Amino acid sequence: MKKKEHSFTTSSASNVPKVVLISGASSGMGRATAKILADKGFIVYAGSRDSAKLESLKSENFFPLHLDITDPQSIQQSVAMILKRHNKIDVLVNNAGYGLVSTVEDVSEEEMFDQFNINVFALLRVTKEVIPVMRANRSGVIINISSFLGKIGLPLFTMYNASKYAVEGITDSLRYELKDFNIRVHSVMPGFFDTNFAKDNLVTNPKTFSPDSAYAAMVSTLAPVIVEQINKGNEPKEVGEMILKIIENEHYPARNTIGDRAEKFIPMRKELSDEDFERRVREYYSL
């Protein structure tokens, strides 16, 4: 399918509400962010493959949006619809994602692709579609929801770790590419948040979680601890409040940690050698 070319005119009136597109907005941090921004007067398009979950929040400036980030045509149609209404997108929040729990030995080709398709390739698809809009207006903010696991590794989360490391690399490079067009790019690296992530957004490999797995001892030690930390994690609205600050403050840092685990491990990662940090993580998780 030939991609439709958009035409743009610049729009810089300061009294016009900013238009925000959020992916993965039906639950957790995406939903909380969408609601906070809408309550602050932003025009919010809350994207999800199951946009019906957002209908209860629909208002004059909150619009549930069917958005399939694995489908370039769905992304193009969504962006075109927003442009037809507003002729701009001021803020993009790439929030959609999930976590695969599997060893490298057990992971399938399909699982590897799906993990990167959602967490990395989809982020690039949406960003690629929105950049020309922001570039034409010479203004914009792109916020990538990463993870503290985009800076530190954990066993069983290798694919998720790798996808979030990729998000950090994308963020770093885009900051150079887009600076001349007055487009800011940031990442938010949450720790474990109580977002139903453990229930809805963790996918487990059956071989890894088999009682006969060579990794059964590691699974039985680590998996329950991670699930407990997620279920007892910070509130999603904390991420939404940080995103609001990033949008409103052009001098906000490029990379931002939030949540107990992130604020514990990321500074430690910077201070210690690789070997010392690995030893501390092993001790912390009894590995």
pLDDT digits (tens, 9 = 90+) for 162-213: 999 999 999 999 999 999 999 999 999 998 876 555 556 789 999 999 999 9
Q: Is the pLDDT of residue 13 over 80?
A: no
Higher confidence at residue 39 or residue 15? 39
For the whole prediction, is pTM greater than 0.75?
Answer: yes
> Exposure of 150 by Cβ count < 10 A (0-12 exposed, 13-18 middle, 19+ buried)?
buried
Tell me if residue 45 is catalytic: no
Q: What is the pLDDT of residues 71-128, one digit of tens each?
A: 999 999 999 999 999 999 999 999 999 999 999 999 999 999 999 999 999 999 999 9
SS (H, E, C) 187-216: EEEECCECCCHHHHCEEECCCCCCCCCCCH
Helix (H) or strand (E) holding 142: strand 140-145
Residues 144/170, Cβ–Cβ less than 8 Å: yes
Q: What is the pLDDT of residues 225-235, one digit of tens each?
A: 888 888 777 78
- Residue 200, domain member (yes or no): yes
- Residue 269, domain member (yes or no): yes
Cα–Cα distance, 115 to 85 (Å, whole number)? 33
The mean pLDDT of 9-26, rounded to a whole number, is 78
Which of 146, 147, 163, 213 does the annotation list as catalytic?
146
- Residue 77, domain member (yes or no): yes
Which of 88, 139, 160, 163 does the annotation list as catalytic?
160
Tell me if residue 164 is catalytic: yes
Cα–Cα distance, 223 to 177 (Å, whole number)? 39
The total number of structural domains in the chain stands at 1
- Residue 4, domain member (yes or no): no
Q: What is the pLDDT of residues 121-168, one digit of tens each?
A: 999 999 999 999 999 999 999 999 999 999 999 999 999 999 999 999
The mean pLDDT of 245-268, rounded to a whole number, is 91
**Structural domain that includes position 89:** 19-284
Q: How many CA atoms lie within 13 A of 241 on its CB side?
A: 7
Q: What is the dihedral of CA 204, 210, 216, 222, to 10 degrees?
A: 20
- Residue 130, domain member (yes or no): yes
Helix (H) or strand (E) holding 185: strand 183-190
Q: Residue 66: which CATH number? A: 3.40.50.720
Which of 164, 165, 187, 213 does the annotation list as catalytic?
164
Question: Where residue 57 falls among pLDDT bands split at 50, 70, 90?
Answer: confident
- Residue 96, domain member (yes or no): yes
Q: What is the mean pLDDT of the chain?
A: 91
- Residue 262, domain member (yes or no): yes
- Residue 3, domain member (yes or no): no
Tell me if residue 176 is catalytic: no
